Structure 1
Amino acid sequence: MINEVLSRNDIVDVIGSYASLKKKGSNYEACCPFHHEKTPSFKVNREKQMYHCFGCGVGGNVFTFVMEYENLNFPEAVERLAERAGIQLPEKSMSAQERSREQYKIALKEMNKTAAAYFHYILKHGQRGEKAYEYFRDTRGLTDETINRFALGYADIYRDDLYRYLKNKGYTDEQLKNSGLVDITEKDGGVDKFWNRAMIPILDINGKVIAFGGRVLGDGKPKYINTSDTAVFDKSHTLFAMNIARRSRRKGFICCEGYMDVISMHQAGFDNAVASLGTAFTFGHANIIKRYADEVYLAYDSDGAGVAATKKVIAILREVGVGARVINMRPYKDPDEFIRNLGSEAFEDRIKKAESGMMFLARIYSEEYDQSDPGERTKFQNQVAKEISYIEDPLERNNYIDAIARAYVINRDALAEKVHDYGVAGTPKPDVVEREERRLEEQTTNPDSGTGSGTASHGRQGRDVGENKTARLLLTWLVNEPSLFEKLDGVISEEDFDPGVFRTVAEKLFSQYREQHKVEPAIVVNTFQDVEEQRLVASMLQTDLSIDMTEEEISGAITDVVKKIKLASIKKHLESENDITKVQQLIKDRKKIEKFRVVI
């Protein structure tokens, strides 16, 4: 049934209802709906039923697109597309594995809801939660109304308190094991992740409890901890209080560093405040914001770390097409401290006077470089020119050149020329195989990694690509030229790919070709549940290789990558093989592959 829904929803038709697609060669193109761009890098391929953006890295099949764009889970996306195609879904249309996964997610959210209610009860009743209640009420200045609204709570001092409570509610060790709430070990049994901490429930965009933040009471370290990523919680795609802020009537969002700042701001009337959670601001966060607003007010701490974070967030928001303005909170460190000292009216005034992201960067760089030293001043001007060069709109770019030249007494024409130089810088062209490997690697790497704010998934993806560039290139070639399966029959197989994403993709592609003499990339994507793995696979299977290569170059390049993969596979088997007969066969295979050459 899943494959029927996939086949009945042509990806060009579906995405065409969200973005303006134009035919170009074998692909359809558009400016990416997930990030701001002037030159289209978002490609949709009807034959492969895949999409991929070579600018920001998103990609997948029609299910992936609807899930990402509409913020739906997999079953919801299937239901939406089935309805579109006029398909009546049976009650049990999901596979046993998919059904089990969704049931687990439902159980996990119920478990978090139960834990939140328990933490809140302890906070509000009796002496056990008195210390946490005093922290929220007296130290942070929160009212009972705010405490109740955010369902704040307390994790007791006993290290197995929540474990025992949830066990009594009928949850099993297996259910608790990967919940992010409890660790299960042979030595200690069930141990709570949160104990003796003031607790803040974290809700998804639909208002369901998916995780917690905990603030230690006392001098323990670390001061704050969050639930680790789970099946229902991904820090890089979750903004605290977004379930409330997205309904605010205020303009844009106010983005803070921590949830306590957000809670204080909501209490003061700024119900459009949100915060990232225990991780740097990511493109995932930016894309969520983009669905609801085109401008963000940044209220990060005014210390050195806060300024550095603000600079990174400005760059990410600029990339997805969201404007940034920076709230000046001096002489105070954060919004909570500012509001408690000067009040909400003064903060409202600071919002009105918030400076644009570009003018903020210019001011910060002017403070970082000694303006009385010619060398330092030159570095400052170069840095500012580089930042201005990222602005795509010519009118806006010229306005900032004028404004910054006036404000910092810089020759306007010299600044404009330097901005132009940064905007047209080029790079040399590498050799054939190196060129293709590098291009594929660049297309796979999400911009998160360039900002130092990528998620663990992005980091893992980057390492996978770095270690398997050759394998990735061959898989891309096989999808572009399925006739290669026959030319490589008996030479290389899926077993020669290292275990992991690339081996799984190879297994699916080789199996598809053996059974039906064609490949269906869109179905391969459904094998993976992790969004970043889906993007990696989509970029691999959607890429069209260079068309400016001669047949001789292509033959030589494919020969090289096949030899690299096969020889590496043989070497690994030789290192671990003890059977002399198999060793001799591997040596023969090595001699054979050294003489191999494919002809296109």
Structure 2
Amino acid sequence: MSYYAQELVEEIRSRSDIVDVISGYVKLQRKGSNYVGVCPFHNDRNPSMSVNQPRQMYHCFSCGAGGDVFKFVMDYENLTFPEAVKVLADRAGIELPEQDYSPEARKQADLKEQIMELNRLAGKYYYYMLRQPDGKQGLDYLKGRKLSDETIRKFGLGCSSKRGNDLYKYLKSKGYSDSLLKESGLMQVDERDGMRDKFWNRVMFPIMDSRNRIIGFGGRVMGDAKPKYLNSPETKVFDKSRNLYGLNLARTSRKPNMILCEGYMDVIAMHQAGFNQAVASLGTAFTQQQSVILKRYTNEVLLTYDSDDAGVRAAMRAIPILKDAGLTARVINMEPYKDPDEFIKALGAEEFQKRIDTAESSFFFELRILERQYNFRDPESKTLFFREVAKKLLEFDAGIERNNYIEAAAEKYHLTYDQLVKMVSQTGEQLGNLKKRPEMGNVSRDPARRRQKEDAGVRSQRLLITWMSTSEQLYRNITRYVKPEDFTDELCQKAATLLGTQMEQGHLNPAALFQYFEEGEEQERAAAMFNDSIPALKSREEEEKALQETILRVKQNSIAWQTEHMDPGDMNALQEIVRKRREIEKLHISLD
């Protein structure tokens, strides 16, 4: 995960106090032994993020985000781990030695930096060209779209020459090789004319990463040539599916939502009108990776895709992707206009804000589009539609949320609540989505009851990991009775093993373990374990009793798991389980 020696990473960590670093992004206030602030990874006005200075970790009790100082910088700045190391090293005044890169890693890092520098030079060149006689058509186009000088500057808009090799000549004059220029995506090779500019006679839109570095370009042709819009190809620094246009500005908007647009001009027009939470996908369909990026900054996304058929299809594709990422989706009605740019020009920002305030739930938007396929004058067709409504309602987990949508759908389509509940139930049984109630006296077969029992077992294991990571003395006391293999939850077992490795090396440092948890969900759960607080109890005796009970639950849960997963014919395994049960019965836990 890192190109740097662990000793160097730990030195950077020790000189990057997490409270000081996070205070540069978020206002923190001391509360007891911790610091609290408004979490920047979801929209909230209340301080739900806790920063633990002694442990050098943070955790949001609302959205689950958490980790160490490197993880915070990675998530806030949208960086890789090595990039976050470099940011914090620069901040701490630590020079990173080049020899810590492997030869291949060094080569790739150098290539990325060179491409970034080429993009920076190209961006300056396009911006300069916009104010030259050759760029008059491009400037007239942008002015015709009612963009101010400030907006043009803010987005770094520019123009490529009408000749197909001006940028090539400029960059060659700077000493760059043809092979590097080809790697940059700024050039293309023509069999007849050789190396030529990829973009010419186009208004240019620099695409920036979260650190405001140019990673690619989009270009709109001047005239009627095809394609109308052209994007940079994928390079070492540019992946269309993992970036969003305007995110470098929108991520700091502090608005309660993000607005997802179709094109560059929509984003720019909306920012100019004050809606600085607008972003757009990059010339391709909205992707799962982009939804994950949005989830870092918001819980709600408003769709402003064009109101034509293509825009409706794009919205219908994007909605399930957003839902899968745990985002609430709503759709802004822009009729009678095609897109946000047209709407704002015609009716202004105040009217657009009203459309935001009354944006339609994605659920009812999908139903409204679905209605077009059915004839409500035909009873059979109408019944088929209601069955589709029931299927959509089954996408919500059973409980309050589904009931709320059933009530709303019943009211909208003039059904009674009971009629629609019955239809949902029947549809669910047909699809196998609804579980039959267990027989009395056979509750062990009830999946919900089993999940509840499993969750209790995992909670005990997580709590024990929290205790183990609190102090070296507690760790030693607990591990007299509990070993890593006693944890049936994979993440807890991994954490216990890593803590053990640290203790063997002579020092407990939970914050240094986050680099070993690479998946987002793993990191969140690890953050919750390592950063959690031990339940406050009245006396030391009560604390000791609670810890003893937790150890017993973990041991009992381990034996139960082994029993369930053993081969019934394996007599040795059976004897071992019997032995462990007897051990637990005789176990006397002392934490002195």
State the TM-score bracket (shorter-chain normalisation): 0.5 to 0.7
Change (3 A) 1:81 1:159: closer
Match of 1:331, SS?
coil
- For residue 407 of structure 1, the aligned residue among 408, 412, 422 is 412
Please identify the structure whose Cα radius of gyration is greater: 2
Percent of pairs with identical residues: 50
Q: Give the CA deviation at 1:414.
A: 4.1
Change (3 A) 1:159 1:3: closer
Q: Give the CA deviation at 1:141.
A: 1.5
Q: Give the CA deviation at 1:178.
A: 1.8
Q: Is the Cα–Cα contact under 8 Å of residues 5 and 100 in structure 2 kept in the other structure?
A: no
1:122 lines up with 2:135 in the alignment: no
Distance in structure 2 (CA, Å) of the matches to 1:325 and 1:188: 49
Match of 1:398, SS?
helix
1:441 equivalent in structure 2: none
Query: 1:119-142: per-residue Cα shift (whole Å, max 9, x none)?
Result: 11111122x01111111111x121
1:220 lines up with 2:225 in the alignment: yes
1:79-478 superposed matches below 5 A: 90-126=97-133, 128-138=134-144, 140-185=145-190, 187-392=192-397, 394-420=399-425, 425-426=431-432
Query: 1:274-328: per-residue Cα shift (whole Å, max 9, x none)?
Result: 1001111111111111111111111111111111111222211111111111111
Query: 1:367-398: per-residue Cα shift (whole Å, max 9, x none)?
Result: 34222222322332222222222222621111
AA at the equivalent of 2:118: M
Q: Give the CA deviation at 1:89.
A: 6.8
Distance in structure 2 (CA, Å) of the matches to 1:153 and 1:400: 48
Change (3 A) 1:391 1:122: same
TM-score of the pair, normalised by structure 1? 0.58
Q: Is the Cα–Cα contact under 8 Å of residues 387 and 427 in structure 2 kept in the other structure?
A: no
Q: Give the CA deviation at 1:422.
A: 5.5
Change (3 A) 1:279 1:393: farther
Distance in structure 1 (CA, Å) of the matches to 2:138 and 2:398: 51
Greater RCO, 1 or 2 (C-alpha within 8 Å, sep 6+): 1
Q: Is the Cα–Cα contact under 8 Å of residues 77 and 211 in structure 2 kept in the other structure?
A: no
Distance in structure 2 (CA, Å) of the matches to 1:323 and 1:174: 45
Q: Is the Cα–Cα contact under 8 Å of residues 109 and 209 in structure 1 kept in the other structure?
A: yes
Q: Give the CA deviation at 1:408.
A: 1.0
Q: For the aligned residues, what is the CA RMSD? A: 3.5
Q: Is the Cα–Cα contact under 8 Å of residues 4 and 100 in structure 2 kept in the other structure?
A: no
Q: Is the Cα–Cα contact under 8 Å of residues 365 and 384 in structure 1 kept in the other structure?
A: no
Q: Is the Cα–Cα contact under 8 Å of residues 154 and 197 in structure 1 kept in the other structure?
A: yes
Q: Give the CA deviation at 1:366.
A: 2.3
Distance in structure 1 (CA, Å) of the matches to 2:77 and 2:271: 26
Match of 1:195, SS?
coil
1:579 equivalent in structure 2: none
Distance in structure 2 (CA, Å) of the matches to 1:142 and 1:116: 19
Distance in structure 1 (CA, Å) of the matches to 2:74 and 2:423: 42
1:75 lines up with 2:118 in the alignment: no
Q: Give the CA deviation at 1:265.
A: 0.7
How many aligned positions are there? 381
Match of 1:178, SS?
helix
Distance in structure 1 (CA, Å) of the matches to 2:76 and 2:147: 36
Change (3 A) 1:283 1:549: farther
Match of 2:99, SS?
coil
Match of 2:414, SS?
coil
Q: Give the CA deviation at 1:147.
A: 1.2
Query: 1:319-358: per-residue Cα shift (whole Å, max 9, x none)?
Result: 1111111111011110001011111111011111112111
More divergent stretch after superposition (254-263 vs 186-195): 186-195
Q: Is the Cα–Cα contact under 8 Å of residues 2 and 78 in structure 1 kept in the other structure?
A: no
Distance in structure 1 (CA, Å) of the matches to 2:87 and 2:270: 37
Query: 1:445-478: per-residue Cα shift (whole Å, max 9, x none)?
Result: xxxxxxxxxxxxxxxxxxxxxxxxxxxxxxxxxx
1:30 equivalent in structure 2: none
Query: 1:135-180: per-residue Cα shift (whole Å, max 9, x none)?
Result: 1111x12112211211111111111121111111221111111211
TM-score of the pair, normalised by structure 2? 0.59
Distance in structure 2 (CA, Å) of the matches to 1:74 and 1:98: 14
Q: Give the CA deviation at 1:75.
A: 1.9
Query: Which consecutive unaligned segments of at least 5 residues does structure 2 have?
Result: 11-40, 43-69, 434-514, 520-563, 570-592
2:583 equivalent in structure 1: none
Distance in structure 2 (CA, Å) of the matches to 1:246 and 1:317: 17
Match of 2:223, SS?
coil
More divergent stretch after superposition (263-272 vs 378-387): 378-387
